[in-house]
Amino acid sequence: PKEPSGSPGADSIKIKKEVANAFVKRRKRSSPYEWYFEYYKSPMEQMHERCENYPPCDHLSDQIGFALAYNRFFG
């Protein structure tokens, strides 16, 4: 069934699994290191996220830099 605008509805669009897999491929990891870094964050990345999730630290890091802002609030 078509919608009044002339385009088919989302329910009427279906493709087979084999066709979908032809253009949606999962990227394979080439080494154990890539697998590791995909699931575990570095300590520096964890620090950045901690500062980004705390609005005063995030705002101050834009003004004076991440290292100084992080040390002021969490250091």
Where in the sequence is the domain holding 60, given as residue range(s)?
Answer: 41-74
Assigned domain for 1 exists: no
Contacts of residue 9, defined as CB under 8 A and 6 or more positions apart, other chains included, come to: 1, 2, 3
Three-state DSSP class for residue 45: helix
Query: Given pLDDT bands bounded at 50, 70 and 90, which one contains residue 70?
Result: very high
Assigned domain for 19 exists: no
Q: Which tens digits make up the pLDDT trace of 3-57?
A: 556 566 666 777 777 776 666 666 666 777 777 777 788 899 999 999 999 999 9
Count: domains in the chain:
1
Best CA proximity match to 51, nearest among 42, 62, 37: 62
Assigned domain for 59 exists: yes
Quote the pTM value.
Answer: 0.51
